[in-house]
């Protein structure tokens, strides 16, 4: 018998972006959306169009660019929100409005200041309007898991009668347990009389570390859409991680008996892209995409692996797109070999982007003997993400030592103008660089985080520097990659200022 298909609804660009510091600009969102489409994501929640003109613009651009995935926009239960969302997603080949209203006593009393009757009539109105403007409507009773059952059932029935095609059950505050969520989805199936007309969806937050387990329990109880994000980013402790959901379904298809349309070999690539763009590093022991997820350290395990990989490996690194890191390209590799390898690791670049990346590759190959796939990914993500920046580092000279002040001379291009300055600092070379940049690009943000990571092993490895700046309680992150850690620091700082000044 054919297995049921579970719809993968990715909300990295909406709930994911709600994580403090995960702000993404339009080009970054577009790049993530294209990668999600390529990996086979069914629905991309591209943003919250009524939140700002910037959000509207990104959802609208994504709606124009994406052909295979459904493009969804989030709207509160307000006429103006719903109309703005409908306008933003209008160009999409397949579009959807996701609208929501809280149904729990605490949200209704303190946030909405509304009684049950008012909530019910607002559901009717908002879902009805959304359905008039868009063929697909996803409705969420916010804080569903803390709502009174009978009222929740009535609210869902109302939304279905008003035209919703998907009913999403958010565990907004990450409170429920897998057994309870399983039982809640079953109860909805058994008590809402028109429930057979819609797809039931899960949307679980990770406050107790249960988001993935809850989503899978909901799916086991009959939900056929899962809302999730890459690397599990999102409000507070985040959302259910897409990569964990997809690999659980694939690896344990004997138990779950469902399939998704995701090409799992794209998982590692998109995880790195989202991490580079948001500056949210992935913990080494993170399931599926952590650096140690496929590493075997103990002698007993290594011995078992050599005899039969399945002794300690339930899925292969290749199934999530991790190749054995081996020497692929070097100083003498030509453009054709470079282009081939770039394609093999999952990128589809324009000729212009290939040319730009090839120049950077040649530059890197002059400085670093072995170019591994990780180097290529860092290099390409860095140029794709950052080549839209208004600011570009042209030249950097740094002198430092234990007995003297650090001295820096820096030249930056701002749009088409080159500007330069020199400066001394008693606080070391990084302080000197950042202060010199501040003189050229004045701002009042404070440095919230500065982090250096080597992309590969070896002292000639590329450095990936993450910079996080805080301004008026908003946090911006950006990274920069270079074999020279001080250049990478300058690039990351400049990119972060570009993001901050574009808002």
With binding defined as CB under 6 A, does residue 170 bind ligand KIV? yes
Residue 140 interacts with, from Zn ion, ligand KIV, none (CB under 5-8 Å by kind):
ligand KIV
Dist. CA 84–CA 56, nearest whole Å: 8
* Least distance from ligand KIV to the Cβ atom of residue 225, Å: 12
Is the Cβ of residue 58 or residue 140 nearer to ligand KIV in the bound state? Answer: 140
CB of 140 to ligand KIV, least distance (A): 4
CA dihedral 251, 256, 259, 260 (to 10 degrees): -80
The interface mask with Zn ion, positions 13-52, x = CB under 5 A, is --x-------------------------------------
How far is the C-alpha of 340 from the C-alpha of 329, rounded, in Å?
A: 11
Q: Which of residues 448-487 bind ligand KIV (CB under 6 A)?
A: none
- Residue 199: CB minimum distance to ligand KIV, A: 15
8 A C-beta contact, residue 81 and residue 100: no
Q: Are strands 391-401 and 404-414 parallel, antiparallel or unpaired?
A: antiparallel
Least Å from the CB of residue 168 to ligand KIV: 6
Spell 320-359 as b/e; 16+ CB within 10 A means b: bbbeeeeebbeeebeeeebbebbeebbbebeeebbebbbe
Q: Choose the contact partner of 280 out of Zn ion, ligand KIV, none; CB within 5 to 8 A by kind.
A: none
Length of the chain equals: 503
One symbol per residue from 192 to 221: x for binding ligand KIV (CB under 6 A), - otherwise; what is it? -----------x-x----------------
Chain-centre distance of CA 168, in angstroms?
Answer: 20
Nearer to ligand KIV, 144 or 248 (CB): 144
Structure tokens at 118: 């008012």
Count residues binding Zn ion (CB under 5 A): 1
Q: Which of residues 295-354 bind ligand KIV (CB under 6 A)?
A: none
Coil, strand or helix at 142: strand
Question: Does 142 help bind ligand KIV (rule: CB under 6 A)?
Answer: yes
Smallest gap from residue 74 Cβ to ligand KIV (A): 6
Q: Which is nearer to ligand KIV, 73 or 170 (CB)?
A: 170
Given ligand KIV, Zn ion, none, residue 174, with its beta carbon under 5 to 8 Å by kind, binds none
* Site of tokens 């919230």: 448
Return the number of the residue (160 or 412) whose C-beta is nearest ligand KIV.
160
Q: Work out what residue 100 binds among Zn ion, ligand KIV, none; the CB cut-off runs from 5 to 8 Å by kind.
A: ligand KIV
Residue nearest to Zn ion (CB): 15
DSSP letters of 385-411? HHTT-SEEEEEEEEEEETTEEEEEEEE
* Residue 82, CA distances (Å) to 76, 134, 203, 445 in order: 7, 10, 21, 35
Residue 482 contacts Zn ion per CB under 5 A: no
Calpha distance 259→215 (Å, rounded) = 15
Which C-beta is closer to ligand KIV: that of 42 or that of 482?
42
The 238-267 contact track toward Zn ion, x by CB under 5 A, reads ------------------------------
Q: What is the DSSP string of 263-325?
A: -GGGHHHHHHHHHHHH--PPPTT-TTTSTTTT---SHHHHHHHHH-GGGT-SS-GGGGTPPP-
Q: What is the DSSP string of 424-445?
A: EETT-HHHHHHHHHHHHS----
Q: What phi and psi values does residue 195 have, to the nearest 5 degrees?
A: -65, -25
3-class DSSP state of 261:
coil
User: Rounded to an integer, what distance in angstroms lies between the CA atom of residue 39 and that of residue 441?
Assistant: 38
Write down the least CB distance from residue 489 to ligand KIV, Å: 35
Candidates 58, 85, 158, 172: give the one binding ligand KIV (CB under 6 A).
172
Residues 433-462 that bind Zn ion (CB under 5 A): none
The binder of 286, among Zn ion, ligand KIV, none, by C-beta within 5 to 8 A per type, is none
Look up tokens 């399939």; give the residue.
Answer: 259
Report d(CA 316, CA 55) in Å as an integer: 38
- Per-residue binder mask for ligand KIV (CB under 6 A), 101-140, x = binder: ---------------------------------------x
| Binding track over 348-377 against Zn ion, x by CB under 5 A | ------------------------------
Residues that bind ligand KIV (CB under 6 A): 15, 100, 140, 142, 170, 172, 203, 205
Residues that bind Zn ion (CB under 5 A): 15
């Amino acid at each position: 018998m054919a297995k049921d298909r579970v719809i993968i609804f990715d909300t990295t660009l909406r709930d994911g972006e709600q994580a403090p510091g995960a702000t993404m600009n339009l080009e970054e969102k577009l790049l993530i959306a294209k990668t999600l489409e390529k990996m086979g994501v069914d629905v991309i929640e591209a943003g919250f169009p009524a939140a700002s003109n910037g959000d509207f613009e990104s959802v609208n651009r994504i709606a124009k660019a994406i052909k295979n995935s459904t493009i969804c926009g989030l709207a509160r239960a307000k006429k103006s929100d719903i109309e703005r969302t409908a306008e933003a997603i209008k160009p999409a080949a397949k579009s959807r409005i996701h609208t929501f209203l809280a149904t729990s006593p605490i949200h209704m009393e303190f946030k909405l200041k509304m009684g049950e009757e008012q909530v019910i009539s607002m559901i009717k109105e908002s879902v009805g309007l959304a359905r008039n403007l868009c063929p697909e409507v996803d409705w969420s009773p916010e804080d569903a898991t803390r709502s009174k059952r009978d009222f929740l059932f009535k609210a869902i029935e109302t939304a279905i009668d008003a035209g919703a095609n998907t009913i999403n059950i958010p565990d907004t505050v990450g409170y429920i347990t897998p057994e309870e969520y399983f039982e809640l989805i079953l109860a909805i199936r058994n008590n809402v009389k028109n429930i057979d007309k819609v797809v039931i969806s899960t949307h679980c937050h990770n406050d107790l570390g249960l988001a993935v387990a809850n989503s899978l329990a909901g799916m086991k109880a009959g939900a056929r859409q899962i809302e999730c994000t890459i690397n599990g980013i999102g409000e507070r402790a985040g959302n259910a991680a897409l990569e964990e959901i997809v690999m659980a379904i694939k690896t344990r298809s004997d138990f779950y008996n469902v399939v998704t349309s995701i090409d799992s070999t794209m998982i590692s690539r998109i995880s790195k892209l989202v991490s580079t763009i948001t500056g949210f590093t992935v913990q080494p022991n993170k399931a599926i995409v952590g650096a140690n997820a496929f590493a075997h350290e103990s002698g007993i395990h290594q011995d078992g692996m050599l005899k039969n990989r399945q002794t300690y490996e339930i899925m292969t690194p290749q199934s999530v797109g991790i190749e054995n890191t081996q020497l692929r390209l070097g100083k003498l590799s030509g453009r054709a070999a470079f282009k081939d390898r770039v394609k093999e690791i999952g990128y589809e670049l324009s000729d212009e982007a290939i040319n730009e990346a090839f120049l950077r590759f040649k530059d890197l190959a002059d400085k670093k003997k072995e170019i591994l796939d990780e180097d290529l990914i860092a290099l390409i993500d860095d140029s794709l993400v950052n080549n839209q920046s208004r600011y570009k580092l042209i030249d950097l000279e740094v002198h430092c030592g234990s007995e003297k002040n650090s001295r820096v001379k820096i030249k930056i291009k701002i749009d088409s103008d080159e500007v330069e300055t020199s400066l001394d600092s008693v606080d070391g070379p990084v302080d000197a660089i950042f202060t010199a940049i501040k003189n050229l690009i004045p701002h009042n943000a404070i440095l919230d985080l500065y982090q250096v990571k080597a992309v590969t092993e070896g002292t000639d490895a590329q450095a990936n520097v993450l910079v996080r700046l805080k301004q008026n309680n908003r946090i911006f992150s950006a990274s920069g990659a270079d074999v020279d850690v001080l250049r990478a620091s300058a690039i990351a700082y400049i990119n972060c200022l570009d993001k901050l000044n574009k808002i």
